[in-house]
Amino acid sequence: MDPLEIKATKETPQINFDGANGVFSISGKSYPENVSNFYKPVFDYIELYRLSPKPRTTIEFRWLYYNTSTAKNIIKIIMLLKDLSKDFEIKWYCKMDFDLIIEKGKEIREVLGVNLNIIYT
Amino acid sequence: MYGLYKEFKDEKLSLVYLGVFSNDITPTLIELSDVYISKIERLSKLRRKATYLIAESFQNIMKHGILEKQNISAIRHAKDFFQITILDDRIVISSANVLENQFISEIDVNIDYINSLDSDNLKALYHQKLNDGILSDKGGAGLGLIEMVRKSGLPLNKRFLPMSDGFSLLILSIEIPTSEDLKEHKVDIDLIGARYKKLVEADILMLYKGDFSSSSNNNIINMLSSNLATEGEIRSDQVKNIVAVIEVMQNVSKHGRKINEYKDGIFALSTINSELYIRCGNFINRDEYESLRATLKSIKSCSIEEIKTMYRNRLSNSYLTDEDNSGLGLLEIARFTGNSFEYSFEETPGGEIFYTINLKTI
């Protein structure tokens, strides 16, 4: 499976999806006005990965900030990936003092009951 | 907020910036104006001139601004000021900065002299200054002012407003008309001075009046992010403010009422006692008014714990709908403000409904 790379812009994050190794990474800012358009290739890629998932799937987030429309897409990405592999982990990287992003990570963990590890950088 | 909007209503676009000036925001100022200018045929031919003059005027403020004099008590509350205004037939760039009275006469004479020259003499003066190569200790040679007059085709408009204890405010305004036949200034420079005073008294840091399309919104958000960053890094204590601005502006973009092709509105940031206040006002469609009012009323009647629960419930189910608007925006604002945000609706004489939201994150 070829990797998916989308370069960051001022309003959209860097996407690095490596389906061959089961590692999915999203980092930066996300507040595109038309969020569905931006995340469409992301979901298309996940649909392909779902056909032959790896035994271990990891998704890494490194957020500066994002809007509520993006929050909805983060939930959808996690919901699509979480039951594919026996071993599933969310790595939620953030700076120690980025309270808002830390809270958002904890909230996702509680709301979805998923294995989300907050990793301070 | 509607009162403020009315003061700007004849301006197709206005961007006012007061306070700390840095080179980082020059490209954003240009991009933001360009979004509008490029859409209007009669204005689009001014793009190159406008880009040059915005950069030149902004550089001028940066060189001669008050930042280095902040410890002088008489002007501690003064702010440098920069404004881009787009009217039907011209672009107007205005600036204001504080200077010591001892420099007034020299600047006054210089500007009057430049204004009195025709285009050939202006060109000659420009080349003479360039060849002399005498730069002032501020890094300029008066070339900027000459270029402003040469490029715009109209004289520089100026006014000195006395402040206190030996300082005055120098207001400069340059107009770039769409036609060479337009020989008269349109903007009253005294009104720019009055606007400056009003906005300083209201502790305005930034004000935008114009279209809330996605490209305009993103430029404002980028400008704000630069302003709230330290050495290029977003400060953690400003993340909530940035996200709140994003939610407020994108809400206008999605639900604002289009009048004459534009989702016109006004957005202002103020700093009072080092705290950032966000205000936004725009027209909404009458058929959305009742539902928005009901939603806001319902949110305001909830405790902060209830709002958190509502947010979480909606977040966990949000992936089930395909709509972009997840309905989370207002709940996020309520969470960020401890549910202390304020809103109002005002019916205009023309029968439109103007919606205002006012908030401070905690």
B257 domain residue, yes or no: no
Q: Which stretch, A82-86, B19-23, B131-135, B326-330, has highest mean pLDDT?
A: A82-86
Q: How confident is the model at residue A59 (pLDDT cuts 50, 70, 90)?
A: very high
A98 → closest Cβ in B222, B236, B331: B236
**Does a structural domain hold residue B254?**
no
Please indicate if any CB of chain A lies within 8 Å of the CB of B272: no
Among B219, B222, B236, B333, the strongest candidate for a mutation testing the A interface, having the largest count of A CBs within 10 A, is B236
Residue type, A7: K
Nearest to A64 among B234, B312, B325 (CB): B234
In a domain, B238, yes or no: no
Residue A8 pLDDT: 96
Most confident range, picked from A69-73, A88-92, B84-88, B245-249:
A88-92
Residue B136 has pLDDT above 60, yes or no: no
Query: Is the model's pLDDT at A12 over the cut of 90?
Result: yes
| A46 vs B: CB within 8 A | no
What ipTM goes with this model? 0.93
Q: A27-41, A46-60, B66-80 — which is least confidently predicted? A: B66-80
Would you call B318 and A107 a contact, using CB atoms and an 8 Å cutoff?
A: no
Helix (H, G, I), strand (E, B) or coil at B186: coil
The last residue of a domain, from among B170, B185, B201: B201
The residue of chain A with its CA nearest to that of B213 is A33
Condensed to tens digits (0 to 9), the pLDDT of residues B44-90 reads 888 888 888 888 887 776 666 554 555 555 555 677 888 999 998 89
The pLDDT > 90 percentage for chain A reads: 91
Residue B276: which residues within 8 A CB-CB, separation 6 or more? B205, B238, B241, B269, B270, B360, B361
Smallest Cβ–Cβ distance between B312 and the set A36, A68, A111 belongs to: A111
- B221 CB within 8 Å of a chain A CB: yes
The number of domains in chain B is: 2
Which CATH number do you get for residue B189?
3.30.565.10
Are the C-beta atoms of residues B281 and B266 closer than 8 Å to each other?
A: yes
Backbone CA torsion sign across B243, B217, B319, A3: negative
Per-residue pLDDT, averaged over B22-35, amounts to 71
Residues within 8 A of A (CB atoms), B 225-244 only:
234, 236, 239-240, 242-243
pLDDT at B307 over 90: yes
Task: Look up tokens 């993103």; give the residue.
Answer: B218
Is the separation of the CB atoms in B283 and B353 below 8 Å? Answer: yes
pLDDT of residue B137: 47
Q: Minimum mean pLDDT among A97-106, B1-10, B159-168, B211-220: which range?
A: B211-220
Mutate to test the interface with B, among A12, A30, A31 (most CBs of B within 10 A): A31
Clarify whether residues B158 and B305 are in a common domain.
no
Which helix (H) or strand (E) segment holds residue A16: the answer is: strand A14-18
Could you say which of B239, B312, B325 has the minimum Cβ distance to residue A69? B325
Top-confidence residue, B172 or B136: B172
- Whether the CB of B325 is below 8 Å from some CB of chain A: the reply is yes
Confidence of residue B135 (pLDDT cuts 50, 70, 90): low
**Residue B139 predicted with pLDDT over 60:** no
Mean pLDDT for all residues in chain B? 84
E strands, chain B, are 13-18, 81-86, 90-100, 157-162, 167-177, 204-211, 229-230, 233-234, 264-272, 275-284, 342-347, 353-359
Taking CA–CA distances from A31, the nearest residue in chain B reads B246
**Is A11 at the interface with chain B, CB within 8 A?**
yes
Give the DSSP H or E segment for A29: strand A23-30
Rounded distance between C-alpha atoms, residue B198 and residue B193, angstroms = 9
Q: Does A51 touch chain B (CB under 8 A)?
A: no
Put simply, whether A33 touches B (Cβ < 8 Å) is: yes
* Interface contact B333, partner A, CB < 8 A: no
**B260 and A CB contact within 8 Å:** no
Q: Which residue out of A12, A40, A69, A121 would a mutagenesis test of the B interface target, given it has the greatest number of B Cβ atoms within 10 Å?
A: A69
Q: Between helices B329-336 and B239-255, what is the axis angle to 10°?
A: 150
Q: Please tell me the distance from the alpha carbon of residue B46 to that of residue B149, in angstroms, as a whole number.
A: 15
- Answer yes or no: is pLDDT of B23 > 90: no
CA distance to partner chain A, nearest, from residue B282 (Å): 18
A-chain residues near B329 (CB < 8 A): 67-69
Please say which residue of B181, B201, B221 terminates a domain. B201
Percent of all residues in chain B with a pLDDT value above 70, rounded to a whole number:
88
pLDDT top residue among B35 and A84: A84
CB nearest A68 (choices: B253, B312, B329)? B329
Structural domain for B316, as ranges: 285-359
The band of B326, judged by pLDDT with boundaries at 50, 70 and 90, is low
Q: How far apart are the C-alpha atoms of B127 and B103, rounded to whole Å?
A: 25
The answer to whether position B177 is within a domain reads: yes
Structural element, H or E, at residue A6: strand A4-6
Q: Given this model, what pLDDT does residue B358 score?
A: 95
Q: Rounded to whole angstroms, what are the CA distances from B6 to B3, B60, B152, B236? A: 5, 30, 28, 36
Q: Residue with structure tokens 């206008």?
A: B252
Q: How many CA atoms lie within 13 A of B169 on its CB side?
A: 25
Q: Are residues B53 and B189 in the same domain?
A: yes
Which helix (H) or strand (E) covers residue A56, if one does? strand A56-66
Q: Considering the domain A4-120 in this protein, what is its CATH number?
A: 3.30.750
The alpha carbon dihedral of B209, B215, B218, B224 has a sign of negative
For the stretch B217-270, pLDDT in tens is 888 888 777 777 766 677 788 899 999 999 999 888 888 898 888 889 999 999
Range with the poorest average pLDDT among A55-69, A94-108, B235-249, B343-357: B235-249
Contact list, A75 vs chain B (CB under 8 Å): 315-316, 318-319
- What tens digit of pLDDT does each residue of B191-208 get? 999 999 899 888 898 899
